[in-house]
């Protein structure tokens, strides 16, 4: 089969790879659409010690099962493969299983004609679901999972909460769109890349601004969602968070700095780290995408897998405005 292989830092190569073979309790899925994730870009730059070349990256996958079992069913894939035995798996939190592995990391991912995957990772969607929309399930579920955790501890209902979303890439944009769908009326979006602001503006949020030019209002948000996760954005989050607010940390850009423990304590700010999603979150996100809850998805750019090498370098140069590029084999 044909695959787009990460062959060296800053190098993606279209090449032939062996066809995937289903192991025990596994199926083979023909890829219909696969999104390019920020973590794939991170690996492409040689910055991810867990994703080493040569490797087929890609974990935001919609496809069609070709193995006998479930043959012909349209699916999205849960890229996290959890152990099913540990305390976290048994209590419904497989996303923090310490034995988990991941496609596009510890085994080949989706930038290819096909992939093999444990059957437990299949999330069935409507057979007529648009594969490009379905490929957004993974980033959509990341935001949805975070909102599920935040809603449990928020003092105000989502509809009334003054919310700040930092970063208008696909996770930030999809999270903001879900908040809007849930009736939230005060959604402010901070995004430094002017190209990226377009889709957020089109969605009609309360404010879309560049935080380098416009200072965020101090202590004025009930929910702050950091979809970037850098020292700078954590600093901004701390500054923006109101007393009694929730700070939802989703982005993983860097590890340290930016938290204000004194303000968090004096103002009783609840910080939540949210990582990925459960199988149920993926199912709900796919259903919401299918039903149109996220509105028009015309901000997604679709390219052919063969254009992968050029697409990765264009993304790195910041030349692509779309918050999400989806490749189709």
Q: Which residues bind Zn ion (CB under 5 A)?
A: 37, 82-83, 86, 89, 97
Q: Which is nearer to Zn ion, 27 or 89 (CB)?
A: 89
Burial class (CB in 10 A: 0-12, 13-18, 19+), 49: exposed
Straight-line distance from the first to the last Cα atom of the chain, in angstroms, rounded to the nearest whole number: 11
Q: How far is CA 245 from CA 149, 152, 163, in A?
A: 13, 12, 10
What is the distance between the alpha carbons of residues 297 and 299, in angstroms, rounded to a whole number? 5
Nearest distance in Å: CB 267, Zn ion: 32
Q: Which is nearer to Zn ion, 148 or 252 (CB)?
A: 252
Nearest distance in Å: CB 275, Zn ion: 12
Q: How far is CA 204 from CA 59, 164, 208, 292, 293, in A?
A: 30, 14, 9, 16, 15
Nearest distance in Å: CB 99, Zn ion: 5
Q: Which is nearer to Zn ion, 28 or 80 (CB)?
A: 80
What is the distance between the alpha carbons of residues 288 and 104, in angstroms, rounded to a whole number? 25
Q: Which residues pair with 114 in a beta bridge?
A: 30
Nearest distance in Å: CB 277, Zn ion: 10
Q: Residue with structure tokens 């999270």?
A: 175
What is the distance between the alpha carbons of residues 292 and 5, in angstroms, rounded to a whole number? 33
Nearest distance in Å: CB 82, Zn ion: 5
Q: Which is nearer to Zn ion, 83 or 148 (CB)?
A: 83
Do 276 and 145 contact (CB within 8 A), yes or no?
yes
Nearest distance in Å: CB 62, Zn ion: 13
Q: Which is nearer to Zn ion, 41 or 86 (CB)?
A: 86
Q: Which is nearer to Zn ion, 89 or 135 (CB)?
A: 89
What is the distance between the alpha carbons of residues 107 and 183, in angstroms, rounded to a whole number? 40
Calculated CA dihedral for residues 55, 174, 160, 258, nearest 10 degrees: 40
Q: What does the buried/exposed string (b/e) look like for 177-186 if buried means 16 or more CB atoms within 10 Å of the residue's CB?
A: bbbbeeebeb
Nearest distance in Å: CB 86, Zn ion: 3
What is the distance between the alpha carbons of residues 21 and 40, in angstroms, rounded to a whole number? 24
Q: Which is nearer to Zn ion, 83 or 264 (CB)?
A: 83
Nearest distance in Å: CB 60, Zn ion: 5
Q: Which is nearer to Zn ion, 97 or 227 (CB)?
A: 97
What is the distance between the alpha carbons of residues 296 and 280, in angstroms, rounded to a whole number? 24
């Amino acid at each position: 089969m044909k695959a787009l292989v990460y062959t060296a830092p800053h190098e993606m190569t279209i090449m032939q790879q062996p066809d995937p073979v289903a192991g025990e309790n596994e199926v083979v899925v023909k890829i219909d659409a696969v999104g390019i994730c920020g973590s794939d870009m991170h690996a492409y730059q040689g910055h991810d010690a867990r994703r080493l070349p040569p490797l087929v990256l890609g974990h935001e996958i919609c496809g069609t099962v070709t193995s006998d079992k479930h043959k012909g069913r349209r699916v999205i894939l849960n890229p996290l493969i959890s152990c099913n035995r540990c305390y976290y798996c048994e209590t419904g939190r497989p996303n923090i299983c310490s034995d988990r592995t991941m496609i596009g990391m510890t085994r080949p991912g989706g930038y290819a004609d096909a992939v093999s995957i444990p059957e437990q990772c299949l999330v069935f969607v409507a057979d007529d679901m648009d594969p490009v929309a379905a490929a957004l399930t993974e980033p959509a579920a990341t935001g949805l999972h975070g909102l599920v955790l935040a809603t449990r501890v928020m003092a105000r209902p989502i509809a009334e909460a003054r919310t700040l979303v930092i970063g208008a890439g696909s996770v930030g944009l999809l999270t903001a769109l879900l908040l809007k769908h849930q009736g939230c009326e005060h959604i402010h979006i901070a995004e430094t890349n002017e190209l990226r602001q377009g889709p957020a503006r089109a969605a009609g949020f309360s404010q879309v601004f560049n935080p380098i030019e416009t200072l965020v209002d101090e202590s004025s948000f009930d929910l702050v969602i950091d979809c970037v996760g850098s020292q700078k954005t954590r600093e901004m989050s701390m500054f923006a968070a109101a007393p009694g607010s929730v700070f939802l940390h989703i982005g993983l850009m860097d590890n340290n700095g930016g938290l204000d423990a004194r303000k968090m304590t004096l103002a009783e700010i609840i910080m939540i780290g949210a990582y990925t999603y459960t199988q149920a979150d993926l199912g709900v996100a796919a259903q919401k995408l299918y039903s149109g809850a996220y509105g028009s998805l015309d901000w997604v750019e679709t390219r052919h897998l063969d254009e992968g090498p050029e697409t990765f370098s264009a993304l790195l140069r910041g030349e692509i405005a779309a918050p999400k590029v989806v490749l189709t084999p």
